[in-house]
Amino acid sequence: MPHTSVLADLRERVQRLEGRDARVRKALPFGVPEIDGRLPGGGLALGALHEVAGGGNGAVDGAAAALFTAGVAARTKGKVLWCVTRQDLFAPAIAQAGLAPGRVIFVEAGDERMLLACFEDGLRHGGLGAVVAEVAKLSMTASRRLQLAAEGSGTLALAVRRWRRQAEAADFGQPTASVTRWRVSVLPSRPLPVPGVGRSRWLLELLRSRAGECADFEVEACDAQGRLALPSTLADRSAAPQVAGRRAAG
């Protein structure tokens, strides 16, 4: 009956506004069971908003957050729209994280307001693999608009939180409509058996996961395909006899 269909439509709209979409949402797995197992659907939900920030206020952790985001975007299909307000994104670095320059469309907005408008328009377009925006502040109202735009098109929305001033960093702790919230901090590189610099390592913190659990992981940074990895247990084992030998000598 007509009344039944109208009621079903209203219920679906309410569920979407409350973040409980009845439809099965596709997910982009990390390919690391320890991480995917903590996320509903076995990966990052597509058609949803996700937040990423550096663990500290310095440029190093901020760069790690951008590389983590680039690795996620690299594993989607299609072009990636990356919105910024500052021309300081280093394209060769994100290429090393798997996101080839030919796939990225860069948009420079004049201010945060214009940035959020470009972010939302990109999500509503529907023909992109992912939309990334580097934002300092993200209100509940703005995040809800972005979340609904992502749901409508099925596009992955990635908000990289960046701050010009220390006072803006506190905004990252405020509630938003994002499905997940991540924090990335740089760890010392894995030691090598020969002189050199090993693969970068990060402390990856899942601070919020809707219908999931919070967790933290020590991971090796994105490779050329945008994939993370857990630190090799073999490398840890090889170092163990040396440590035991030093203790015995002492």
Domain spans in the chain, listed from the N-terminal domain onward: 24-249
For residue 4, the model assigns a pLDDT of 56
Give the list of residues 6+ apart from residue 75 with CB closer than 8 angstroms, or none: 28, 98, 225, 226, 227
pTM beyond 0.85, yes or no: no
For residue 217, the model assigns a pLDDT of 97
Q: Are 156 and 48 in contact (CB under 8 A)?
A: yes
For residue 57, the model assigns a pLDDT of 72
Question: Which portions of the chain are predicted below pLDDT 70?
Answer: 1-25, 165-168, 196-197, 233-250
For residue 30, the model assigns a pLDDT of 97
For residue 250, the model assigns a pLDDT of 33
For residue 128, the model assigns a pLDDT of 97
Rounded CA separation 118/121 (Å): 5
DSSP-H helix ranges across the chain: 2-17, 33-36, 59-74, 91-96, 112-125, 140-153, 233-249
Q: Which fold has domain 24-249?
A: Rossmann fold (3.40.50)
For residue 243, the model assigns a pLDDT of 37
For residue 17, the model assigns a pLDDT of 56
